[in-house]
Every structure is written in C-alpha cells, then in structure tokens.
Chains A and B, each alone.
Chain A
Amino acid sequence: MGGLFGNLVFLNPWALTALAGLPALYFLLRVMPPAPRLLRFPAIRFLQGLEPQSKTPSHTPWWILLLRLLMATLLLLALAHPVINPKNSPITQVQPLRLVIDNGWASAQNWDALMDAAQARIAQAGRQQQTVTLLTTAPESTPQKRISGAAPMGAGEALSLLKALKPVPWENDLAALAHFLEADKHNRAFKGETLWLSDGLEKPGAEKLAQILASAGPLALLKPQDQDLPPLLKAGTAAGQTLSVRVESAGNLPSATIQLLNERQQVIDERLADFHAQGKSAEILFTDLPESLQNHAAGYRIAGVKGAQALYLMDMAGGRKNVGILAAQDAGQTRMLAEDSFYLQKALEPYASLTTGTLDEILAHKPALIILPDIGAMPGEHLNALDEWVRGGGLLLRFAGPNMTREHQSVSLTPVPLRAAARTLEGSLSWDKPLHLSPFQNNSPLYGLSIPDDIVVREQILPKTPDAPGLEIWAQMEDGTPLITAAPLGAGMLVMVHTSASPAWSTLALSGLYVEILKRILKLSGQGLKEQILHNGMAQPGKILDGFGALHPPGAEVQPIDAADFDAVIPRPEHPPGLYGKGGLQKALNLGDHLDAPVRLRSLDAVSDSGNLSGVQEKDLLPALLSAALLLFLLDTLVVILLSFNGRLPTRLRRAAHFVLLIGLLSALPAQAQDAVTYAGGLHLAYIKTGNAALDAQNQKGLETLAAVLGERTSAEPLGVAAVDPEHDELSFFPLLYWALSPEQTKPSAAAVQNLQSYLNHGGTILIDTRNGDPGDSTGSPLLRKALAGLDIPPLAPLPEGHVLGRSFYLLDNFPGRHNGAIWVEQQSLNGRDGVSSVIIGGNDWAGAWASINPATHKIRRYNVQNGREAEISLRAGINFILYALTGNYKADQVHVPYILERLGK
C-alpha cells in the first residue's frame, strides 16, 4: 500500500479474520432487545397479565448498531496491530550500532529532522539492546570534545549526548573521520551496522568514509531531500561599488529571499533570488536604496535558512566612525555661531561620534577622520603627529579661514601649496561678484550631489599650483578655481576645502550641501586606516557565528587571526566565522567565501540502504485505534444511559445541569466588574435594593429625578442611579446610600451588615428612610431596629438647630418628603468623622416625593405631594443630603455667619 498510508503492515494479521464475524455480531445486536423505556403510569393495575402477541418488533436504532459495529471493527483492527512505515524487521543478530552524524554547517538547515531520525534510531537500538557509538564528522573546537571515538554506550547515554549536539559553523572533515576509523579497523569491536545521517552535500572523502563504514557492517544513509539542501551566501562580484551578494543553491530550490540587515540584524530590505530565472547561482543587488539606509547595511541573510552560511557579514560593520575636530586655539571664547567647529559639529553629530579638543585628545580616540577648521600654523610636533597619522591611513579634512592668511607662514599638510592671501570676491575694493559652484565632475567623489542655487562663496584661498601632479579637484567654482581639493599622502589622504567651515566666507555652511559633502568625505575615511590596522597585528574576535547562524560573543577557544593573512583563513574551530578586528574597525570572516559551490551528494556504492531524513517515521496505529474504540464505547454508554431515562433526566442529573447553568451564569460576572468601572468613573446616586419591586422602582425614579435636579442646579453632576445589594456589591463608589425601609424589611444578612459597616467606617453615609413619617424615638421604631440590627451606629440625636445638613446647599429648617417628620443624625461631639454623620435617619419618604415630581417641570404629577412648594422643598432636602455627603462639614462655618453679620451690623 502506498499513498496516504505509506507502507501499512499488520503485525498480527490473523486477527483480521475475526472481521468475518462482524455480520454475526450484527444479527446478534439486532436480536437483542433494547433497554425498556421506563414510564410512570397510574393505571398499571389494568396492565397486569396482559401479554403481547409478538415480542421482537422492537429493534436497536440503526445508528446505535452502526456505532457498535464500528467499535468492534476498530477493536479487531487494533488487535491486528497495524504499523505505518515499519522499520526493518527486528534484527536477529544484535550488532553494535554506529551513528555517524554530519554536524557541519550544512546540517543546520535540517537539524531537527536529523535529530529526530537519530533519536528514533537510538530508541530503536535501545529496544534491541544494541550499544551505540556516536561519531560526528565536523572537527570540534577542542580535540577532547570530539564525540567521535566515544566508546560504545547505552541508548540512554547516547540520547543525552545527542541532545547536547549542535551543528558547527564550519566544514565537515570526512577524511579525518575516515582516517580515525581506519586506525580502529582491526579492533574486534569495529564490527557493527552504521547509520550515516548526512547533510546531503558532496564532500571530499565521502566515498572513502563510506567504504570503511561498509567494511564494518551494513551501512544505511539518510540525507535531506533535494529541496531541503541549504543555499549559501558569498561575496558579490560588484561588492565594491554597490550592495551585492551572491547566493548559491545546491538543491532544486525555486527561490530564496535575501534580506539586507543592519548592525542589529534587523531587516532593512529584502529581494527575491529566483533560481529558475538565474540558475543555481544568483547575484542579488540592493540598488536604489536611500543612502541613509545603505549606510546602515551590515550584512545579508537568506530568510528562513538556518546555518552560518546563510549570513553574510560586511566589513566595518558596527559602530560609528570617530571624527576628531581640532578646536581653534582660542576656542575658549563663546562666539558660538561664529565658530567653525560649531557648524561642523552640528553637521556631523548625527553620523559620527565626535571628539573636539586638542590633537592629543583627538588622536587618543583613534579617529577615522580629523577635521582642521581654519587652522594655520601648528607646532612642529603636532604636524609630525598628524603627518604620521595621515600616512597611516587617516583622512585629514581642512577648511580655509582667516587664520591661514593671518600670518605669513607656510601652511603645510594641505593637498596643494596655498597662496598666502585670500581672494575676496565681494568687498568694497572688489569688482567681482560672489561666485557660485559649478556642478561636480563625475570623477569627483562628490559627484551626484545637487547644488542649491543660493550657495555663494565670497572669499577663498587659492592654490599656488592648481595643476600640481596628484592633485584631485573634487569641487570647483564657476570660474574654474578649485573649491575642494584632495591629494593622497601615504596610505591616507589630505582634503582641503578652500573656503571657511563657518558662514564667514561663504553660505556653504548654511546649506544642506555642506552636510552632504561632509557625509561623503566621512564615508571615504577610514579605508586606509582599516587596511593599515588589519594588516598589522592580530584581529581579535568580536562577534562569532554559531552553527545556526546567530551572532554570539566569542568563547575562550576562539583565537585572534593574524591580520596579514586574514583572507587566507578558512573558518575552523579556532576561527569560526564572524567579525574580527579592533574598535569600530572590523573585518568579517564569512563562511560562504571559503566554500565551494554546493553539490548534491552523489550516491555512494558502499551504502546498502539509503533514504530521506524526513517522512520515514514508523507510526504505530495501535494506540490510536484503541483510543477510538474506547471513545466509541464511552459514547455508546452515554447513549444507553440517556435512552434508559427516556429523555427525562433524573433529578440528580437535572441538578447537575442546573449547576452547569449556574457556572455559565457565574461567567457573566465580569459584567459586574464592568459596573464597578462605570461606578468608579463618576458620581452615582445609589439606593439599597429592598426586594420590593414597586418600592425599588419608586426609589430609582426618585433618585433619577434628584440626579437631574442636582445636575441642573449644582456642580455635582451625577452620571446615574445605581441599585446596590449590600450583600454582594461593592459600596465604596457611592458617597451616599439611600435606604428606604419597607414593612417587610428583614434583618440584613451577616455579609450585608459587614459590607455596610465597612462602608460606614470608611466615610460612607447612609440616608435611612422609614417612609412612615416617624422614625421613632431615640430607641428607633421596631422596623428601624430590625433593619439596623448588627450595625454599629453611634448614638443619635434629633437634628440640632443649625446643623450643616441645613446649610450644605440650601438653607433649610426641615426636610420634608411626603411626610414632614423629625430627622436624626449622629451626636456630633461623639463621632470621629470630623462632625459628619454616618447615618441620617428620617421617615419622610423622600424618594416617594421625588418620584412624583416631573423632573422637566418640577411640577408634581400625583397627589402625593400637595403643592409645588413642598415638591421644591423636598428636592432641596435631597440636594442638601447629597452635598452633605459630598462636602461634609465644609459649610459648617456658615453656621456662624448670622453671628458674624450681627457683629458687623453693630
């Protein structure tokens, strides 16, 4: 059998014969009567003794029949023990197993599949009591670490060793392994079967290794499929001019995506390499990228490909260049906008790390570029130091300026000898007009920069010999006089701008061109220096690639490379690919540059059994079949149970269903949390749910009216009205709780009492309304006592004259609702709440009064409140309650106002 199931084999095929018994089972199931339906029936007495004529027309529903037949079939199939892609039949003669694993760079791409195959084989070896020897083909960084040569070991040990194995970022050395095995050939323990997990690429020595392994016993080879062979990156042929890289593929990969990376390995851009169109080797150019992006380019990567060969690093990657600006001698003066160095700093700050100061300070930072703005004569030792630095590869950029002409001394270290005096193009004694720049010649490094029209040069210093040999003119004026000249000196270069770095002599320093010119020059800098550094001394490892192509700090075993023969170094354990160098100057050692074009491994004669790494796993179907049968059995049981209940669930199951429903309801709890968010968002008036629907509706309506009036007249603008249940709800959001008592008021539960007490203790106020006009005497009415049972409420007193409650917004003497009775508050002297009462108890049915008021007109709709004046006063009472709860004793001072006024009157 092929196709979907691969090779399906039954290990116990005789069990399949039992399938013939299925029709018998079918009839058996048909004959078996189903469980009787149970029915409660009062007239059972009349059924006794009634015997039906026929007994068998009852039959199992067809779907139960199908279910059971399927279950039996699955069980029988499971007994037959089917296995997909079975491995070779168990070996009768147990031989040691030798596992050869290619762990060079090319394995990284298929490492997971390779590991799976190795683990599966070791597990199998464990079952067959085979000893295992692990051999790896790539050289290890230290000879001791090499697994090859490890003694035969048990499967468990081999597995743990295997798990520690990682691909390495260098080439396999098959010849060395062959050599090692050759030496061992005459050992008695040499015999054994071998599984070679290859990376699938042709390597020198493969044939020989295969032969030696085959001489020990049967040799099986597993390799990745062709499309899984890894592509690699090499230096592009156009690497000098533009960003380019070459990608080479061994397999029949249709295409690959090449990414351009910055210093942090982030993708800047990506291009598609189409191997169909371009062959197995394709050159990828990253042209037409903005220059700012190009400047950040630090490497290339093949997207989705693992391995050190898939990452190509560029030289000089990492870090910004150091630029030194030599400050003028009198730089201490703070004429910032007239200072040359100020303009240079502003222009270069985004692109380089700047050092401004004396020459010694600058040189200590090992700059790639040194700028001398308007510096004339220098001490001899400075000249010598600079000269040496330039000859060593440095780029010296000089700007002209008044200092160069001030004294009649020769200015050295310029590309060309200069005239002593500046040429003034605009002045009281000059006929000339300020000059513009002429376009850059195409041999100039500045070629391509656009020149704004408004740049004019008013003064310049002209060279004595404009046609001196070796002098490059990078920019010139429209009259042909040079503006920027350059000349090589040793490994370095001298560049001279013949006008000032500040706007003193030209408007160049005020234009964008100034920045662009500096950037171009900055880009040129450091080339010679790099060569110089990297050809002298040792390049230290900076960042090192691991086998999967990730950058890491180097380990102790990584050694520096002698810069002189850097290009000849082939990546190997001591020198893994990565960045080598010093400071910001780094050279890349790329694996791909040292690899031949990858070629698919040809078939080896010595290999007796070869296959693909992936998709050859043995799959035992027994557990899956058994689980399926068990599942069907459970389903059948459930169906039987349900049928026996005849659709009516017994009480317990119904309770369970209720419980499930309850869980579902509980999951709606976040809605309550949502309420909390709403309530916390602003002022809400709240009343305590009484459980009496009519009373609750009245409270809701009354408070809504009050809220509307509050918003209209005061700065307290309630967002809404909340009905709270003190047993469950969080109360802390509400400044005042309105609690209307109904005659059926019961004693609140312990949880409610606790919650209310905590609310009172933390500054809440409860307005209790007995709604009968009379809250009772100092002991309270029985209703009140029942409602407040368990609450710790301080001694109360009738509202004293001049209490803040009567002043908190309106001046009120009484607080009528539908009734006009007494109000009780805490005795002020007793509480610790700054004189604010925690409870206000009355019986005036305020909510009833408010509810009967039309909030739009403040007119009474019903007979409850006799006239408009009383409606108004009841609303005022409500406003005072709310503001009392909100402002506390803030208005207490007003209590004394009459006396103050009286005194003033006198």
Chain B
Amino acid sequence: MKPFFPLRKNAETLSARLPSLRAAALQTAFHVLHGPHPRRRAGGGESFWQFREYRPGDQPQAIDWRQSAKTDRVFVREKEQHKAQSIFFWVAGNQGMDFKSQSALPSKKEFANLLALTLALLYSREGEMIAYAGRQRPGHSEKTLQSFEHLLLETAEDTPASAALAAIPSHAGCYLLSDFLEPSETLTKNLAPLDGRTHNGWMLQILDPAEITLPYKGRMRFENMEGTDSHLSENAADIATAYNARILAHIEKIRDLCLKMGWRHRLCRTDEDPVLILRDLITRAAHIHKSGTI
C-alpha cells in the first residue's frame, strides 16, 4: 500500500489553497443551496419544525417540558429534517493509470487521487456526504474520509462497474475520474445505470501529456501496462500527428457521451496545476448550484 500520509497531506494543502464551495458560489454572486438542504418535514435537523403530541416510542428527551406545562398534554418538540447531498466518487485504478511519461510528473492515478480527495475534503467541509461509489456509505465524518482515502489507494477497477454505479442514488452528485481510454461503447454500456438518474455528474478525464502528443522519436516498441499487447513503430515521430488526431477524437467522444447524459466533462492533464483544475471545477459547480440541481 502506498503511504497513507502524503496523499491526505497533499489534499489538505491543496484544499487550503482553494476557496470553499460556498465562497466560490458567493464569488459568482449567486445564492446557492449548499450544505444541509432543508427537507420541509420533521427530521434530525437543527431548526424547530413543530410541536407534536407525545406518542409511545418517542424519546423522553424529546419532550418539551415548557410547552407541555402549558397544557395537560405532553408535547414533543420536532425539528425540521435536514438532509445532506451525497457526492459519489469513483477513480479508475488499472495499471494504465500508473503511467507517467516523466519522473517529475505524477502518475495519472496519483493525480486522480489527489483531485478526488481534495474534492471530497471540500465537500465534507461543506457538510455534504461523500462516498466512494459502490464501496462506502455516504458520510462526512473524519472516519469516512479516512476510509475513503484507503479506498482511493486500494481500489483498482478498469472501468466503472455497473454494479457500483447502480448503487448511486438518483440525484446524487457523482465524480468519475479515469483516463477513459477504453472504447466509448464500453463506457456507454457501463454508465447506462446512471443515465437519466442524475444529471449531476462529472467525468474528469486524466491524461498524461505524452498520451496526447506522443513526443517520442525513433524505433519504438509500445507495450500496454499489463504487457499483454504491444505495437512496434518504425518511426514514432512520424505517427505522432495521426495519433494526436485519434486521441483528440476519442476525447471528443467522451465529452459527447457526457453531454448526452447531462454530465460535465473536463480533460485534466497531469502537467496542469491541480489548483487551477479545482478552481475551474468549483466555479462551474457553483453554476450548477444556481441551476438547483445540487
């Protein structure tokens, strides 16, 4: 297992450099719904909702003695139910995600983990519930965050599994982080359970700059990370343009797929500053708040 500490530390550092979602929302001058969203019914919230006559089964602590003393009946003080929004994350963990073209760059997996955990931190500070899709119940406690981090480091799934996505309730927020290099048809199929259930999803496509530009020269033998497939190129420099066109077309396909589902897509290159990416995401998330879906 990779060290526990650095990822969390990096995420904390990163999140400290970012405005909170609320601040970002204020910055965009929109009053947005955030944090616990009142549900207009009795529940475990903070604010008073109504007095109700005591029924067997109610906790004695809930009895409002002052109100009860006014009459002969015993009243229970009910509070309005607040329900937090749940945000589900999923990060691809296949071997391909371990790729980095330069030693100075983070691997795609590291980059994705950092983005995911920072987002999770930001959300949980706002009182939202976060969870790793299919692996974790939503929560905003420190414990949830810790086990979330463990799941980030341990889970190794190639493509979003339908089962995991099926567990995401409707209207929940959803972040999928992957390189999405698999054929778009596979992805469409896997994402089918989510189609129409929530429009509040993000696909963050994490790619190494080398995967976009193919900056290699000479005779090269390319091998996939598992070592199961290989391709011999007599002159890598010669095919770079064609490759670039292909990969851009693929990214376009993924973007289309997102838009079709009502989701948002962002290409994240590992040589980008994660702060900029996150700022961008937060700003756009604020617009979404405005639209009221989250």
Contact = CB atoms under 8 A, between A and B. Distances in A.
Contacts of A41: 99, 210-211, 222-225
A40 B224 contact: yes
A44 interface: yes
Contacts of B235: 52-55, 57-58
Contacts of A364: none
A46 B254 CA distance: 15
A89 B134 CA distance: 92
B234 A42 contact: no
Contacts of A35: 219
Interface string B247-272: 10010000000000000000000000
B193 interface: no
Interface in B57-114: 95-97, 99, 108
Interface stretch (B34-42, B195-203, B238-246, B275-283): B238-246
A669 interface: no
A41 B224 CA distance: 5
A33 B219 CA distance: 8
A41 B229 CA distance: 10
B30 interface: no
A35 B238 CA distance: 18
Nearest to B244: A46
Contact of A44 (B216, B229, B236, B239): B229
Nearest to A47: B231
A893 interface: no
Interface in A39-83: 39-48, 50-55, 57-58
B233 interface: yes
A51 B232 CA distance: 10
A10 to B, nearest CB: 40
Query: How big is chain A's contact interface, by range?
Result: 20 to 34
Contacts of A36: 219-221, 232-233
B149 interface: no
B231 A42 contact: no
Given A36-B232, A58-B218, A52 B239 contact: yes
A69 B26 CA distance: 73
Nearest to A38: B221
B179 interface: yes
Given A42-B99, A43-B181, A44-B231, A50 B239 contact: yes
A51 to B, nearest CB: 7
Contact of A37 (B97, B221, B225): B221
B223 A37 contact: no
Nearest to B223: A40
Interface in B187-214: 210-211
A47 to B, nearest CB: 5
A47 B99 contact: no
A34 interface: yes
A647 to B, nearest CB: 11
B238 A52 contact: yes
Contact of B233 (A34, A45, A50, A57): A50
Nearest to B224: A44
Contacts of B95: 42
B132 to A, nearest CB: 23
A39 B243 contact: no
A402 B179 CA distance: 129
Contact of A42 (B219, B225, B239, B250): B225
Contacts of A44: 222-224, 229-231
B177 to A, nearest CB: 15
Contacts of A55: 234-235
B265 to A, nearest CB: 18
Nearest to B181: A43
Interface string B117-149: 000000000000000000000000000000000
A45 B181 CA distance: 8
Contacts of B216: 37, 39
A34 B219 contact: yes
B99 A37 contact: no
A54 to B, nearest CB: 6
Nearest to A34: B219
A510 to B, nearest CB: 94
Nearest to B228: A44
Contacts of B224: 40-42, 44
A617 B38 CA distance: 107
Interface in A5-55: 33-48, 50-55
A48 B242 CA distance: 11
Nearest to A41: B222
Contacts of A45: 181, 183
Interface in A379-399: none
A36 B216 CA distance: 12
Given A42-B99, A45-B181, A46-B243, A52 B222 contact: no
B212 to A, nearest CB: 9
Nearest to B232: A36
Nearest to B246: A46
A50 B236 CA distance: 10
A51 B236 CA distance: 9
Nearest to B229: A44
Interface in A138-166: none
B239 A47 contact: yes
A40 to B, nearest CB: 5
A445 to B, nearest CB: 96
A40 B95 CA distance: 10
B55 to A, nearest CB: 51
Interface in B26-50: none
Interface in A802-860: none
A50 B232 CA distance: 10
A402 B237 CA distance: 124
A43 B231 contact: no
Interface string A685-716: 00000000000000000000000000000000
B61 to A, nearest CB: 39
Nearest to B220: A37
Contacts of B237: 52
Given A38-B223, A42-B96, A42-B99, A51 B229 contact: no
A57 B219 CA distance: 9
A43 B210 CA distance: 10
A46 B250 contact: yes
Contact of A50 (B181, B210, B218, B243): B243
A38 B222 CA distance: 6
Nearest to A43: B211
A33 B234 contact: yes
Interface string A226-268: 0000000000000000000000000000000000000000000
Contact of B181 (A33, A42, A51, A52): A42
Contacts of A42: 95-97, 99, 108, 179, 181, 211, 224-225
Contacts of B220: 36-39
Contact of B223 (A39, A53, A57): A39
Interface in A433-487: none
Given A40-B99, A43-B181, A52 B234 contact: yes
A631 to B, nearest CB: 28
B157 to A, nearest CB: 15
Nearest to B95: A42
A820 to B, nearest CB: 38
Contacts of B99: 40-42
A34 B217 CA distance: 13
Contacts of B210: 41
B223 to A, nearest CB: 5
Contacts of A51: 239
Contacts of B221: 36-39
7 contacts: A33-B234, A37-B221, A41-B225, A42-B95, A43-B247, A47-B243, A54-B235
Interface of A: 33-48, 50-55, 57-58
- Which 7 A-B residue pairs are closest in the complex by CB-CB distance? A42-B96, A52-B238, A52-B235, A36-B221, A50-B239, A55-B234, A36-B219
Given A34-B218, A44-B230, 8 more contacts: A36-B221, A37-B219, A40-B227, A41-B99, A42-B179, A42-B211, A50-B233, A52-B239
